[in-house]
Amino acid sequence: MIDQWLKDHINRATIELSSLCNYAPMHKKCYAHAASKSILPRKIITNILTDMESIGFAGCVAFHCYNEPMIDPRLQSIIEQTKKTIPTGTIHIWTNAWYTSHDLLCELVESGVSRFTLSAYTEAENERIREMVKGVPCKIKICDLFTRGLDGRNTTWADGAPRRYRRCYAPFNDLMHRADGSIGLCCYDCQKTTVFGNLYDKTWHDIMHDNFEKMQRIFNNLSEGNRSADCIPEVCRHCRRGR
């Protein structure tokens, strides 16, 4: 019963492969700038994928949070493993496009990637990326950060008036697996104030079952826009976003 509920409500599984980002020094609002070095072991990645496959998960798998996935030398083999383990799912890569080329993107599509989001930090990078992605056979989105600005997720909930009645679907809409092994609330909880367990200590299946009632209560209240219930984490009470 729990497994079926999880299958029906987890839309995306984000697996943060590491805490490393080569652009972190130029984006000091980003939590990765101050984060300690963590690299998620392959055995934990395998456990996440196999346990999610066992419940029938067929949603999206992503490998970004506060990291840059394309600089991880394991990425292509992890993509291939993900596609083999969850063949009916989709794979999303969000990258700053520093370590990309047209041929590399095409190779990753052949390995199983369904969608790329590429961030352009300058006008010159924007032009390079737009030329590079021509003919890449998958969905492509380009974020023009030089016009939009960089978001400061570590202040998303710290500044300004809270949106107490805004609906949110955390923690299940995008189930967050961080590079330190923790399963957390969402990407906006960058300081990891709410953690449901750690994959160094327990399997994915055990963490989800042990914490199911707590996670479901949070989800049920947030999905109704109720941010004042006793079960709601403090970070959600002041968050101006929704997942």
| pLDDT tens, position by position, 1-12 | 999 999 999 999
Q: Can you give the pLDDT at residue 52?
A: 98
* Amino acid at the residue 68: E
- Buried-exposed string 162-201: b where 16+ CB fall within 10 A, e elsewhere: ebeeeebebbbbbbbbbbbbbbbbbbbbbeeebbbbebee
User: What residues does 140 pair with on adjacent strands?
Assistant: 116
Beta bridge partners of residue 174, listed in sequence order: 12
| Residues pairing with 179 in the sheet | none
212-223 and 2-9 are packed helices; what angle lies between their axes, rounded to 10 degrees? 40
pLDDT of 179 strictly over 60 = yes
pLDDT at 238: 81
What amino acid is encoded at 225 in this protein? G
* pLDDT one-digit tens code per residue, 18-47: 999 998 877 666 665 556 889 999 999 999
Reported pTM: 0.92
Instruction: Name which of 11-25, 65-79, 160-174 the model is least confident about.
Output: 160-174
